[in-house]
Structure 1
Amino acid sequence: MDIVFGFLSAQPVIVVFLLVGLGAALGRIRIAGVSLGAVAVLFTAMALTAWSVAVGEPIAIPPYIGDVGLVVFAFCTGIIAGPGFFNAIKTAYPLMIAVTVMLALAAFTALGLGKWVNLTPVTIAGLFAGAVTNTPALAATGGSAEATVGYASTYPFAIVAAMTAVALALRSRAKDTDAPAPIVDKPIRVDTTSVRKVTDIAEQHGNRVTFSRRRPGEGGPMEAIGPDTTISAGDVVNVVGPSDEVDAIAVELGHTSSLDITRDRSRLDFRRIILSESKLAGRTVGSLKLQSRFGANIVRVRRGDVEFVASPQFVVQLGDRLRVVGPTDTMPQVTEFLGDSERGMADLNPAAFGIGITVGLLLGAIQIPLPGGAHFSLGFAAGALIIGLVMGRVGRIGPVVTALPNTAATVLAEFGLLVFLAYAGANAGSLIVPAIASGEVFTLAGIGVVVTLVATFGTFLAVKFILRSGATRLSGVVGGAQTNPAILGFANLRTGYDVRVALGYSLVYPAAMVVKILLAQLIVVV
C-alpha cells in the first residue's frame, strides 16, 4: 500500500474525487433505514488519511480546495433558503427565537465544560459544531485539524440524539390538528347577484387562491381569468388554492359546480412550462402580464418538489415550472415567451455566482475590533451565506438576475459540501488515532453528549410544550435546528414525506445555520 499512498500523496485532486466517490457510496448504505449521507465522506477521509500516516505516506488536500468547496456550499445554501428565511422572520420568529436561545445555551455549555478540561477554543468550537451537526460552523473555525477532531468526536451521538427526538415527536403524530390543506382545483357556480372582481376576492383571502378560467353564465366562450375579470350570477369559475380556502369561496360565491370546465380544452389549454428566459426571472407573476399579452395566466408554480399558488405578488425564478392556462391558439407564443427549456433548471448564472461569492468573501474578511485588542470576522462561510440569503431573496436588481435556479443551486451546494468534507476529513485523519489513543476523543464525546442534549432536546421541549407545535411539524423543526439533511430525510421517511416536516425544517433552518456559524466564531475568539 505504500506505493498506492505514495502516488496519492502527490495527487491531491485525485484524492478529493476518490474520497467523494468512496464516501458517497458508503453514505448510501442504510442500517435500520438510516444512512450517513454526505457525512460519510468526512469519516472515509479520516480513515484513509489515518491509514496513509500509518504506512508512512501521508496524503493531504490543500486548504484552498476546502475553501472553494465551503464557500460554494454556503453561498448556494443561502440562495436556496433566502426567500424562506426572510419570510420566516415575519411569520415564525417565536420558533427562531426558541432555536437561537437553545443554541446559545449549548454554545455556553460547550465553552464552560471545554475550559474546565483545558481544551483550546478552536477544539471547543469544533466540538460544538459536531454536537449540533453543522459543517459550516466547523468551517467557520477555519477547518483546522483540532477543530475537525472535536467535530468528528461529537457528531455521531448528535445524529443519534436528533433521530431519537424525531421519533419521540412522531409518537403523538396522530393527535396533530395542523395538517395543511392540499392545493386543489374546484369549479364553482356563482349564485350571488353582485358583480365582483376576482382580484378583490383573492385579496380578501390573503392571495392564497387564484382563479384560472371562467365560463360566462350567458353562454359566452370560455376565457382565462385576468386581473380585471369580474364574475356575476350564473358564471362558472375554476378556483385554485388550499382546499379549505377554496371551500370557503364556494360557500361565499355559490356552490360547487357539477360541470368541470377544466375538461373543456376546445378554446383554452393548460400546460407546464419551464421558465428559462433569464430576463423574466426575479419578476412577479403579475408583472409578466400574460393576460394582456396572450390572454393567459399562471395558476400554479412548482419549485423543486413544492407547489405554490401563483398569486400576482409571487416572484418566479429560473427553473420554475409554471402551470399556465390560456387560449389554445396563443399557447405556442406563451411557451416561446417563457422559454420552456431544460437549461432554465441548470443555468448556473455565472455572473451572479462569481460576483456574489466574491462579495461574500469580502464581507467575511472584514475584521471587527473587540475589547482587549482581539478581532472578530464573520469568516468566508458566514459571509458567503449571508450574501447568498440576500441575493436569493432579492431575485433581481434592475436587469440583473441575482438568484440561481433551485436545481442548479442544490447540485452546487451538495458538490461544495462533499469537497469540503473530503478536505476536513483528510486534514484531521493524522490526529484522530493519537486522539483515540490518548483518550481525548472520549473526553470530547462526553462533553458533546451534554451539548447535544441541551441543543436538541432543549429545542424539542421548548417547541412542543411552550410553542405548542404539532408533532409532525416538530419533527421538521428538530431537523431544521440541527441543519442536517439526514435528520430531515429520517423524518420524511417516517411520515411519508408529509409537507409539515419540510415546513418546520425550512422555518428554522436558515436562522439556525447563521446562528451556529456566528456562535462557533465567537467561541474561537472568547
Structure 2
Amino acid sequence: MDFLQWLDTVVFDVPAIKAVAVISLCCAIGLSLGKFKIKGIGLGVTWVFFMGILLGGLGITIDHEMLIYAEDFGLIIFVYVLGLQVGPGFMSSFRSGGTVLSLLSLTLILVGTIAALVPIFFGWSPLGEMMGVLCGATTNTPALAASQQALSQMHHPGDGLDAALSLAVTYPIGMVGVIIALMLVKGYLHKNPKGIVKRDPDEAYIASFEISNPAIFGKTIIECAKLADKHFIVSRIWRKDRVILATGQTPLEEGDRVLVITQPKYVETLTILFGKVDEKDWNKSDIDWNKLDTALVSERILITRNHINGKHLGQLHLRNRFGVNVSRVKRSDIQLMAEPNLVLRVGDRVTVVGSPESCKKVAEELGNTIHALDEPNMVTIFIGMVLGLALGYLPIAIPGMSSPLRLGLAGGPVVMGILIGAFGPRFHMVAYVTNSANLLIRSLGLSTYLACLGLDAGPKFIETVMRPAALSWIGYSVFLSVVPVVIMAIIAVKWFKRSYTTAAGMLCGAMANPIALDYINSTEEGDQASVAYATVYPLGMFVRVIIAQLIVMLWLG
C-alpha cells in the first residue's frame, strides 16, 4: 500500500480525522499567507477564509455535521474570549473622557448601517447578500456570524451562505477602504494637528502642591479632605530635608510639598485648597520614583492571589497592617485611583509607597508572582461559554416582532464575556487571561470558524463571483468603507476639535480595522490613535454584533 492510498483509506476515510486534517491544513496555509504584507497592508487571518474557499472550490469537503460543529465551536470561543478581552475597558468607554469618541463611533456605525439598508429597502439587493457586504466593508466577521445565526433562526439559512459569499468578495475592499478614506482627508484635516486631547477624568492623575494656604496650616489630611470634599490621596510629604509617609492624621505645615494622586477634574479645587501647584509633570512614564528620596521606595506589585480577586482595596487594610500607602492601581493601560471601594482583580498592578521591608510584605500578601498568571483560568472560560449559550437562546420579546429576539451563538457569548470581564471579580470570578493566552484562544477560534466558513462557501464561490450582482457588492462596499469614514473624520476634527490622529484611531476602532490602525501608527507620531482605537473598539464590536441580528430579526419578523 503506497502512501497516497494509505492516506486516502486510513486517514481521510475517517470523517473526524479528515475534518481535523482539512481544517488544520486550511488554517496553516492561510495563516502563513497572512504574514505577507505589501507596503504594510495585508489580509492577516482572512487568508484562512480564502484558503477554505479555494479548497472547497476544488471539491475538498468534510462531513457536514462536523463542519457545522467546528464552525460553531470556533465562533463561540472566539467571541467569548473577545468579550473577556474588551470587558474591562467596555464600561470605561462611557466615561466622559471617551464619551465624545464613543458617540462619534456610534454615529459612524449608524450612518453605515442606514446606507446599507437603502439597497434592501428599494429591492436592489437581497437581505442576506447586503448583510455580507456590510460586514465585509466593516471587516467584521463576528457580525457576519450574528447575522447568519439570525437568518438561520428565521428559517433563511440560504441567505446566510449568500452573506458569506458577499463578505468574501468585499472584505479586501473593506480592509483598504478605510485607509483610502483617511488618506483622502489627511491633508485637509492636518491643519488641526493637535486638537483637544482629553484625559479620562476618572483616571488617576499625579500632582504636587506647596502648602501656602494659611487656612489649612496645622490641619490633618483628613480635615483637609473634608474641606475640599474631593477625592485625593497624599502619597508622601517633603518637609524641609525629611520625607514623610503621609497618613490621615498627618498635620500639614507651611512650606510642605505634598505628592497627591487625584483626578484631573479636581486639580483646580485642590490648588485652591493647598495654595500652590507645582508645575512639574509627574505623569510621565520615565520618572524613577525611587530616586526622589532615600527613605521610601515605590513599587508596583502584581496581584496574583485568587483570594484577593473581587475584594475592595479598603478590606485589605494595607496602611494599618504594613505601614504603606497605596497610591494608584494600573489595570490594563488605565491608571485608577486607589480608593477604598475600588474592586481589585487578578492582574492589577498596585503602586505601593513605603519602606523596602513593608513593600516586600505587601508583595507577599498580594502574590506578585508573574508565572502564576501564565495559566489561564479555564473554569471561568468554560462556565462563561455555557452561560453565554444560555443567554444567547433566551427569548427577548420585542413589540411588533412575530418572533422573539435571541442573541444567538455570536451575541450571547460576547455579551457574557463582556459582563464577566467587567464584573466577574465582584463575584470572585477570575476572568484574567494573559494577552498571549487570549490571543492564542481567539486566533484558534477565529481561524477554525473562517476555515469552515470558507469550506462551506467554496463550492458556490466561482459561480457567485461571476454573477452581475458581484459588481454591485463591490460598489456598495467601496461606498460603505469610504464615504461614512470621510464624513465622520471631518465632523470629529472640525466640529469636535479632535486631532486628525485621534479621529483616525477612533474611526479605525469603530470599523474594527487593525490594518488601518497600523497605517496610522506608521505615519503619525504618538499613541493618540491607539488610545482612541482602544476606547471605542469594545463598544463598536458589541454594537455591530447586536445590530446585525436586529436588522435581520426586524426585517424578516
Report the TM-score range of the alignment, normalised by the length of the smaller protein.
0.7 to 0.9
User: After superposition, where does 1:388-403 map in structure 2 within 5 Å?
Assistant: 388-398=417-427, 400-401=428-429, 403=431
The answer to whether 1:14 aligns with 2:21 is yes
CA distance in 2, matches of 1:203, 1:509: 40
- Determine if contact 2:328/2:335 at 8 Å carries over to the other structure: yes
Instruction: Give the 3-state SS of the residue equivalent to 2:346 in structure 1.
Output: coil
The answer to whether 1:424 aligns with 2:453 is yes
Matched with 1:505 is: 533
- Indicate which of 101, 104, 107 corresponds to 2:110: 104
Q: Deviations over 1:295-332 (max 9, x none)?
A: 2233344444x251443155443223333222112222
Instruction: Give the 3-state SS of the residue equivalent to 1:142 in structure 2.
Output: helix
The answer to whether 1:157 aligns with 2:173 is yes
- Determine if contact 1:365/1:378 at 8 Å carries over to the other structure: yes
Matched with 1:132 is: 138
- Determine if contact 1:396/1:402 at 8 Å carries over to the other structure: yes
The answer to whether 1:214 aligns with 2:237 is yes
Matched with 1:123 is: 129
Matched with 1:277 is: 305
- C-alpha displacement of 1:402: 5.3
- C-alpha displacement of 1:140: 0.5
Q: Residues 257 and 130 of structure 1: is their aligned pair in 2 closer, same or farther, counting only changes over 3 Å?
A: closer
Q: Residues 436 and 245 of structure 1: is their aligned pair in 2 closer, same or farther, counting only changes over 3 Å?
A: same
Q: Residues 23 and 302 of structure 1: is their aligned pair in 2 closer, same or farther, counting only changes over 3 Å?
A: farther
CA distance in 2, matches of 1:504, 1:299: 26
TM-score, reference length from structure 2 = 0.79
Instruction: Give the 3-state SS of the residue equivalent to 1:212 in structure 2.
Output: strand
Letter in 2 for 1:44: M
- Determine if contact 1:299/1:309 at 8 Å carries over to the other structure: no
- Indicate which of 449, 455, 459 corresponds to 2:488: 459
Matched with 1:176 is: 194
- Determine if contact 1:191/1:234 at 8 Å carries over to the other structure: yes
- Indicate which of 89, 101, 104 corresponds to 1:84: 89
Matched with 2:54 is: 47
The answer to whether 1:357 aligns with 2:385 is yes
Q: Residues 369 and 191 of structure 1: is their aligned pair in 2 closer, same or farther, counting only changes over 3 Å?
A: closer
Q: Residues 38 and 323 of structure 1: is their aligned pair in 2 closer, same or farther, counting only changes over 3 Å?
A: farther
Q: Residues 89 and 183 of structure 1: is their aligned pair in 2 closer, same or farther, counting only changes over 3 Å?
A: closer
Matched with 2:161 is: 145
Deviates more, 1:31-40 or 1:329-338: 31-40
Letter in 1 for 2:21: I
CA distance in 2, matches of 1:188, 1:340: 32
- Determine if contact 1:273/1:340 at 8 Å carries over to the other structure: yes
CA distance in 2, matches of 1:249, 1:101: 37
Extract unaligned runs of 5+ from structure 2: 150-159, 281-287
- Indicate which of 259, 281, 285 corresponds to 1:238: 259
User: After superposition, where does 1:341-380 map in structure 2 within 5 Å?
Assistant: 341-368=369-396, 371=400, 373-380=402-409
Q: Deviations over 1:159-181 (max 9, x none)?
A: 21211233456544463132467
Q: Deviations over 1:406-441 (max 9, x none)?
A: 534454334332332222223222222221233443
Extract unaligned runs of 5+ from structure 1: none
Instruction: Give the 3-state SS of the residue equivalent to 2:235 in structure 1.
Output: strand
Deviates more, 1:85-94 or 1:425-434: 85-94
Instruction: Give the 3-state SS of the residue equivalent to 1:163 in structure 2.
Output: helix
- Determine if contact 1:169/1:472 at 8 Å carries over to the other structure: no
Letter in 2 for 1:132: T
- C-alpha displacement of 1:475: 0.9
The answer to whether 1:404 aligns with 2:442 is no
- C-alpha displacement of 1:229: 4.6
- Determine if contact 2:31/2:47 at 8 Å carries over to the other structure: yes
- Determine if contact 1:225/1:296 at 8 Å carries over to the other structure: no
Q: Residues 202 and 411 of structure 1: is their aligned pair in 2 closer, same or farther, counting only changes over 3 Å?
A: farther
CA distance in 1, matches of 2:212, 2:345: 38
- Determine if contact 1:282/1:403 at 8 Å carries over to the other structure: no
- C-alpha displacement of 1:276: 0.5
- Determine if contact 1:165/1:478 at 8 Å carries over to the other structure: no
Matched with 1:435 is: 464
- C-alpha displacement of 1:337: 0.7
Letter in 2 for 1:297: N
The answer to whether 1:28 aligns with 2:35 is yes
Instruction: Give the 3-state SS of the residue equivalent to 1:40 in structure 2.
Output: helix
Matched with 2:513 is: 484
- Determine if contact 1:211/1:225 at 8 Å carries over to the other structure: yes
Q: Deviations over 1:170-217 (max 9, x none)?
A: 54446313246799877655444424555766996975x754323444
- Determine if contact 1:213/1:225 at 8 Å carries over to the other structure: yes
Matched with 1:63 is: 68
- Determine if contact 2:195/2:498 at 8 Å carries over to the other structure: no
Deviates more, 1:102-111 or 1:268-277: 102-111
CA distance in 1, matches of 2:170, 2:249: 59
Instruction: Give the 3-state SS of the residue equivalent to 2:45 in structure 1.
Output: helix
- C-alpha displacement of 1:277: 1.0
After superposition, the CA RMSD in angstroms is 3.8
The answer to whether 1:444 aligns with 2:449 is no
- C-alpha displacement of 1:268: 2.2
CA distance in 1, matches of 2:441, 2:316: 29
Q: Residues 293 and 13 of structure 1: is their aligned pair in 2 closer, same or farther, counting only changes over 3 Å?
A: farther
- C-alpha displacement of 1:150: 1.4
Letter in 1 for 2:380: A
Letter in 2 for 1:276: T
- Determine if contact 1:130/1:151 at 8 Å carries over to the other structure: yes
- C-alpha displacement of 1:247: 10
- C-alpha displacement of 1:339: 0.6
TM-score, reference length from structure 1 = 0.84
- C-alpha displacement of 1:365: 1.0
- Determine if contact 1:121/1:523 at 8 Å carries over to the other structure: no
- Determine if contact 1:276/1:319 at 8 Å carries over to the other structure: yes
Q: Residues 94 and 268 of structure 1: is their aligned pair in 2 closer, same or farther, counting only changes over 3 Å?
A: closer
Q: Residues 132 and 232 of structure 1: is their aligned pair in 2 closer, same or farther, counting only changes over 3 Å?
A: same
Q: Residues 48 and 214 of structure 1: is their aligned pair in 2 closer, same or farther, counting only changes over 3 Å?
A: farther
CA distance in 2, matches of 1:241, 1:35: 43
Q: Deviations over 1:54-90 (max 9, x none)?
A: xxx3357622222222222222222232343223334
Letter in 1 for 2:161: A
CA distance in 1, matches of 2:449, 2:247: 49
Letter in 1 for 2:61: P
- Determine if contact 1:285/1:310 at 8 Å carries over to the other structure: no
